[in-house]
Amino acid sequence: MDKRIIVIDDQIDIRNAFELALEDTGIDVATAESGRAGLKRIQENSYDLVYLDLKMPGMNGIETLHAIRKMNPTIPVYIITAFHGEFMDGLLEAQQKGYEFELLKKPLEMDEIRQITVGILNGPTSY
C-alpha cells in the first residue's frame, strides 16, 4: 500500500490506538507527542494524511495546522478532538484563510480509525 500517516497527539493512548488499529493494513503510522515534534517529522518525511489533536500543551492544534499548511497546503488534515468548542474561533479563522481540514470527535473506536483512514487513503470501497 505504501501509504504514510502521522498522528500528532499528546495522549499516548490515542497514538497507540492508531498504531494498533492500522497495524495490519500496510499503512505506515508515525506519531508525534506535540505540534513541534509533528512539524519536525513532516519536514523530514512525506505523509499522505495527518491526524491532529487540538488541545495540546505548548503549540496547540490550530497553531500546528497553520504551520502544516505553510509547509504543505494540500495534505489532508483531520483534526481529532473532544474540545472543538473552545477552539471554534481559531477553526473559523483557519477556514477563512482557506485551510482545508475535517473535524472528528474523540473518542474514536478502532474500527472507525481503520475505516476512516483506509477510506481517505484508498477510497471508501477499499476497506
Distance CA 6, CA 45 (A): 10
In this prediction, the residues of the chain whose per-residue pLDDT falls under 50 are 126-127
**C-alpha–C-alpha distance, residues 114 and 18, integer Å:** 8
- The per-residue pLDDT for 78 is 96
Residue 92 sits in a domain whose CATH number is 3.40.50.2300
Q: Check residue 127 and give its pLDDT.
A: 45
Task: Determine the pLDDT at residue 126.
Answer: 45
Query: Model-level pTM?
Result: 0.91
Predicted local confidence at residue 88, as pLDDT: 87
Least Cα distance to 77 among 119, 48, 110 occurs for: 48
What domain count does the chain have? Answer: 1
Instruction: Supply the range of the domain harboring residue 16.
Output: 3-126
Backbone φ and ψ for 25, nearest 5 degrees, come out as -95, -15
- Residue 72, pLDDT score: 94
What distance in Å separates the CA atoms of residue 87 and residue 53, rounded to the nearest whole number? 11
Kindly provide the residue ranges of all beta strands, DSSP E only, lying in 1-127, ordered along the sequence. 3-8, 27-32, 49-53, 77-81, 102-105
